[in-house]
Amino acid sequence: MATFKEKYWKYSLIIIVIVLGILLLREVRPYMGGLLGAITLYILVRKRMMKLTTVHKMKRGKAAALMTFAVIFFCLIPLAGLVWLIVSQVGKINLDPQAIMESMDKIEAFIKEKTGFDIFGSDSISYIVSAFSKVAQLIMGELSTFMIDMLVIIFVLYFMLIGGNKMETYIKDILPFNDANTNHVVNEIDLIVRSNAIGIPVIAIIQGAIATVGYLIFGVPNVLLIGLLTCFATVIPVVGTALVWVPVAVIMAIKGHWFGAIGIIAYGVLVVAQSDNLTRFILQKKMADIHPLITIFGVLIGISMFGFMGVIFGPLILSLFILFVNMFKQEYLDAPPNNSESDDTIQEE
């Protein structure tokens, strides 16, 4: 039986750990994207790292440096190039607010004449035009955060690879589960992170390529930029690529290119959207069989919590929550009555 003093030490230590953890989490939040990125890449390359150190007998420091350089060359540099390409394309766009407002005034008058509905308020057109410049400023402002995240990823990933085995053992030891449930949790994390980290880029590339073909056919301007934005839009649940090709069709209609606008809408609904459903269905069967609702709500929750990396870790957190609830149910609610209770019942009878 623990004494009062031992209980005091125990619970005081727990409170100190929780308080310090909250304070540290608040301070590290600006770097959360880089930390989650490093965790994702570690999970993806850990088996390769183990093979280098066990099969090829390479020293951990040398193997960690080799894997880090491989990640930089094959992942981070292409990603940085993609971001630079988007920023350079955005910088080339020369928006003429007056011309846009005149075009929108014309289409508003046309719709009002035919239907009697005033689709834009008095200030809506000015707001929509100003939104374009705000989006461009937001993209430019995120560059510094992106560069910091890249540096954090490289730094943290290297040291995670060096201390990988000890780190994994330590984490498993402090998890409040038995061995079977601990392995189940670790496998679930590995499966979901791998599925999202590989599946999301594959879907983005396929959808972006398919949509870009349609943009070329129907004469969409700035095809390269619009195609890249379509790739990124695939991570947004429910709306997805429609977040790009619907506004593109509207802008083309505003400018009087009705054939292109109608063509983009038809192509988006019949080709892009359907190929998205097919691609996700195939990848879901090949990788983690995650329920669509978990993916949708997980992404929505994750993006608000972690930014872009929430696309991967939002569904993971939601899946783990459901897994922990099921564990609690199986361990404590569905557990058979203990022997003492059974014996008492027999004696009473």
Residue type, position 115, single letter: T
Highest mean pLDDT of the ranges 114-123, 130-139, 151-160, 194-203: 151-160
- In this structure, what token pair is assigned to residue 204? 């983005």
- In this structure, what token pair is assigned to residue 65? 């440096």
**Which residues, 6+ apart, have CB-to-CB distance to 162 below 8 Å?**
60, 61, 64
pLDDT at 25 exceeding the cut of 90: no
The answer to whether the CB of 239 falls within 8 A of the CB of 208 is no
Q: Of 39-48, 155-164, 313-322, which range is least confident?
A: 313-322
pTM for the complete prediction?
A: 0.75
Tally of CB atoms within 10 A around 42: 21
The answer to whether the CB of 63 falls within 8 A of the CB of 53 is yes
Tally of CB atoms within 10 A around 335: 9
Q: Report domain extents, the chain.
A: 30-166, 173-333
The answer to whether the CB of 212 falls within 8 A of the CB of 229 is no
Q: How confident is the model at residue 182 (pLDDT cuts 50, 70, 90)?
A: confident
Q: Following DSSP, what letter does each residue of 63-112 receive, concatenated?
A: HHHHHHHHHIIIIIHHHHHHHHHHHHHHHH----HHHHHHHHHHHHHHHH
Q: Please report, rounded to a whole number, the percentage of residues in the chain having pLDDT higher than 70.
A: 75
Q: Which residue has the higher pLDDT, 190 or 335?
A: 190
Mean pLDDT, range 334-341, rounded to an integer: 56
pLDDT at 68 exceeding the cut of 90: yes
pLDDT at 348 exceeding the cut of 60: no
**Which residues, 6+ apart, have CB-to-CB distance to 51 below 8 Å?**
none
